[in-house]
Amino acid sequence: MRAFALLFGFGLIVAAPTRSTAQKQASHDSANPAKQIIVAFPNRTTLMDFNGTEVLPIASLINEDMHFSWIVFKEPNHIYGTNENAKNLRHFTYDTEAKNLTVVGDIDGSAGVVHLEFNKNKTRMIGSAFADGTIDIWDTSETDGTPKLIKSLKVKDHINGTISERQGAPHQHQAVLDPTGRFFAVNDLGGDAIRIVSVNDDLYEIVNTIRVPNTEKGCGVRHGAFHGEADSEALHYLVDCELSNKILSFNVKYQDGNLELEFVHSISTFQTPPEADPTGNFGPAAGELLISKTGNNVYVSNRRTPNAEAKTPDSISIFNLLDCGKLTFKQSFETGGRLPRGISLSNDDLQTFLFVGNQAGTTGTSEAALAAFKRNIDGSVVDTPAAIAAFEPNDSGFVGPSFVQEVPFFPHVL
């Protein structure tokens, strides 16, 4: 085991400057209770305190040759991170008294895993491998948290997408647990398909493949979310598309012991869609998609806009999700930086904050490599950040995090 000391000098922390100390304290004590967030960069993972107006580092773990694109948590203090540049899954823990992160060990799985998701009781974990195109099934039932690779599912019915440079092989990007806990929907960017993996009887096999409609071929499904109760007529699955910058909406049905998706419609991730790039390589690329717990609000991050060379900020678009499964545009706002790959909502009941990790960092005048935006009751977002932070460039050249999320169970320590 290796323990890593606190690291406080890794970058400049900048808070929104318009509020007095008294106002900050009142906000901290009432509307904005203290939170801890974890942010992941290439070669570094950092825990930070967030009190509604400031983000301050607690502990940092230097991960040589590790690029955590996704992190998940298991009680009481276990953390698992994917390395999208290699095959290893890293298991580490957090000590709340010593305030440090400790590496427990690395275990090899598929290459290029970019997302992790648990089953309902966190005894199994699904890894979506972009590079290998496989779906890893991990046993996480051991009391010491040590994961064991059970098997890797291979796609046997891949059909090349219309953008050959990006869709010549399967590329699993995310697995999403359905509301019943019986199925995972696995988004295959390379195959324009959603693979349904059954959990029943600990099966963990691909039991259904839903391909996008012909009108949406070449879309490159990336990240999605279910919304609604399992027994509701208004249960939907939404997924964003990295290559076409659209959101696809499906009705969810359970038939003959399987999960089926019925296409409803698609909508651009922009209020005014940019001109399409026929290669899919250099135009905008949708990133993360979230649906709020209340209010039926959908959030999607837009990267590389208006083009890959632009130095202007990227954006997040907000939509209203109707009971029929259709989406209507609500708001768009700038993230203050470029490449907002990782976005997430805070864990409180009202999901008061939206966290944004601008992977490519700032835009020259902004310090918002990491930003926290206040979310209103109606789902809209105050477009001036409540708190921002900048970081020194690392060896990869990136100055912002690719992943940011509130830690769900660690006690707050100031």
Over the chain (414 residues), what is each successive 10-residue block's mean pLDDT? 31 35 36 79 87 89 82 93 93 81 93 97 98 98 97 95 90 98 98 97 97 96 95 92 96 95 96 64 84 93 72 89 96 92 95 95 72 96 93 69 86 44
**Amino acid 6: pLDDT:** 29
Which residues, 6 or more positions from 158, have their beta carbon under 8 angstroms from its beta carbon?
A: 133, 169, 170, 190, 191
Alpha carbon distance 171, 135 (integer Å): 10
Alpha carbon distance 275, 284 (integer Å): 10
**Amino acid 89: pLDDT:** 95
Environment class of residue 214 by beta-carbon count within 10 Å: exposed (0-12), middle (13-18) or buried (19+)?
A: exposed
SS3 annotation, 163-184: CHHHHCCCCEEEEEECCCCCEE
> What is the spatial order of strands in the sheet that 148-153 belongs to?
113-118, 124-129, 135-139, 148-153
The dihedrals phi and psi of 315, each to the nearest 5 degrees, come to -140, 165
- For residue 340, the surrounding DSSP H or E stretch is strand 340-345
**Amino acid 86: pLDDT:** 93
Query: Which of 167, 408, 120, 174 lies closest to 290 in space, CA to CA?
Result: 174
**Amino acid 365: pLDDT:** 52
3-state class (DSSP) for residue 28: helix
**Amino acid 28: pLDDT:** 35
**Which CATH fold would you assign to the domain 155-334?**
Methylamine Dehydrogenase; Chain H (2.130.10)
The pTM for the full model equals: 0.90
Neighbours of 5 (CB within 10 A): 13
Which amino acid appears at position 72 of this protein? V
63: tokens are: 């991960």
| Placement of tokens 């660690």 in the chain | 410
> Is 62 within 8 Å of 396 (Cβ atoms)?
no
**Amino acid 32: pLDDT:** 54
Pairing of the two strands 35-50 and 403-406? antiparallel
